Structure 1
Amino acid sequence: MPEYSCSFFSISKKKNLKNQDSILAPLRINEQIIFAVADGVGGHPGGEIASQFATSSLQNLYFNNQHLSLRAALTNIQFKMKTLVTELKAPPTMATTLTCCILNEKKFSLAHTGDSRCYRVRDTNWELLTKDQTELQELYDRKIFTKKQLKKYPNSKLSAALSPQLDVKAEFSKHDLIPNDIIVLMTDGVHKVLTPKTMPGPKASISTFSICEALKRRAQNAGPIDDYSAIALQFIE
């Protein structure tokens, strides 16, 4: 099994508030490594419950069945959320984003719903592998808005999330890995403060630690507008 290095953080935007983000730090289960970020949807009761439930359920599912597909895992989590509402009286409107990876040998599978993000850093170049599932992104895809017009609307409603009230609408993809590639997952509390000019540069993109420190610093310097979390994992052959 190839070796990996990792760094991560998850921080509340204010010390006196609950962190509605949740992360599943890289976890080796037999021949696989699984990790994820989730961002409980603000404005709805139970955001932190939804995000923590998503990451803990993901971990438990793969402990019990490492051959489970990510599509089946997300469907299972959404079903369990319904049970959480009916049996434990969890808020029915709770919802969360979820972006997760499973690494196996020199490739990884990716599942994504909501507006958290996954990047692959190769030779210090950042490649976005997910698309934000938001109403504004849909307007851009339909060529109703330009990228310049999108900047006037920093906040956008999600068009998809994990919720007991919604059908699972997620993207699934597979990607290759070469030695020294770094996979970076982040919630919108991080990527909303990033621009092409403030993305971590070559010096900060050489290790998982330097990437996480750079992302954390940018979120803090901008004045956190949301909870902010990230995971960086580097493939070392």
Structure 2
Amino acid sequence: MNFEYYSLTDTGILRENNEDSVALDVENHIAILADGMGGYNAGEVASAMATTFVRSELGRWMAEGGAQASSREIKRAMEICIDNANRSIFNAANSQPQYAGMGTTLVMGVFQEARTLIGHVGDSRCYRLRDGNFVQLTRDHSLLQEQLDAGLITPEQAQFATHKNLVTRALGVEDTVLLEVNEFRVEEGDLFLLCSDGLSDMLSDQRLAALLVTAGTLDEKAHALIDAANDSGGRDNISVILAAAKSKPLRKGLLSRMLGQ
């Protein structure tokens, strides 16, 4: 399986600075998206620290043998990288007054042949479009999601909740953090969308799916998503990473043998 990637981030309409950060390591098939929070410019510091650290450390690990690693080994490597990134952000937030209270949510993917491992902390999300079916692969670590799970509110009520952005996990807030990692089978034609809540809060799942189906290239799809979020109010920073799975072309010699030539 081959993967094609594209990332895009936008400040949105109402914010003055962009506290989101996206990073791709195409060679090692790693995608990371972080949505920072904190006063002044601290949020963008936290998100940039997270994406830079994970791309560097996990990329190095994958390059040194990750392609032959088991899912369990890759998951453990992802957890270690996030733990180290969390400690770096936490220490900076507690040692430098200008960074006090900073933190970041994060969603990341490691894409390998017929499998992908998706990890997340907070409410940054990953979706998958397969044969017209659009599903959310991550489950928000948020107060709103906990209320939904407990049956305290309905999905309809959740759409109008005023506390959508109260997360229950984030990097840099405490000295430890738990990365949730899940493995998914990959099929030809799968399209994965990683995004910050600046996208998912502005557009329904139905609208996201429609844009991904109708737009053309990954570049065009990403711009269509961000334009639609801004048209709907653009209240927050908006970031997307797209990863498309495509079958590897058969080698000419193998194709000839299969055709009996």
Q: Is the 8 A contact 2:5 2:26 kept in 1?
A: no
Residue from 69, 78, 83 that aligns with 2:86? 78
Q: Is the 8 A contact 1:24 1:55 kept in 2?
A: yes
Cα distance in 2 between the residues matched to 1:221 and 1:112: 27
Deviations 1:2-26 (A, max 9, x none): 3222222101124982210000134
Larger mean CA deviation between 84-93 and 210-219 belongs to 84-93
Give the aligned residue type for 1:22. S
Displacement of 1:163? 1.2
Displacement of 1:86? 5.7
Cα distance in 2 between the residues matched to 1:100 and 1:207: 22
**Is 1:98 the counterpart of 2:98 in the alignment?**
no
Cα distance in 1 between the residues matched to 2:60 and 2:25: 17
- Over aligned residue pairs, what C-alpha RMSD do you find? 2.3
Q: Is the 8 A contact 1:44 1:95 kept in 2?
A: no
Cα distance in 1 between the residues matched to 2:142 and 2:39: 16
Deviations 1:127-183 (A, max 9, x none): 110011111110111111111221221442111111142531331100111111111
Q: Is the 8 A contact 2:109 2:119 kept in 1?
A: yes
Displacement of 1:88? 5.8
Larger mean CA deviation between 48-57 and 34-43 belongs to 34-43
**Is 1:53 the counterpart of 2:23 in the alignment?**
no
Deviations 1:39-75 (A, max 9, x none): 0025576111000000000011123322452111111
The residue aligned with 1:174 is 183
**Is 1:130 the counterpart of 2:148 in the alignment?**
no
Gaps in structure 1 of 5+ consecutive residues:
none
Cα distance in 2 between the residues matched to 1:188 and 1:82: 22
Q: Is the 8 A contact 1:13 1:225 kept in 2?
A: yes
Task: Give the number of aligned pairs.
Answer: 233
Gaps in structure 2 of 5+ consecutive residues:
67-73, 248-261
CA gap of 1:45–1:62, structure 2 versus 1, over 3 A, is same
TM-score, with normalisation over the residues of structure 1? Answer: 0.88
Q: What is the percentage of aligned positions where both structures have the same residue?
A: 24
CA gap of 1:211–1:200, structure 2 versus 1, over 3 A, is farther
Cα distance in 2 between the residues matched to 1:172 and 1:25: 18
Cα distance in 2 between the residues matched to 1:205 and 1:119: 17
Residue from 192, 196, 212 that aligns with 2:201? 192
CA gap of 1:46–1:182, structure 2 versus 1, over 3 A, is same
Give the aligned residue type for 1:139. Q
The residue aligned with 2:27 is 28
CA gap of 1:219–1:73, structure 2 versus 1, over 3 A, is same
The residue aligned with 1:165 is 174
The residue aligned with 1:146 is 154
CA gap of 1:71–1:16, structure 2 versus 1, over 3 A, is closer
TM-score, with normalisation over the residues of structure 2? Answer: 0.81
CA gap of 1:105–1:197, structure 2 versus 1, over 3 A, is closer
SS in structure 2 at match of 1:212? helix
The structure with more helix, counted as a fraction of residues: 2
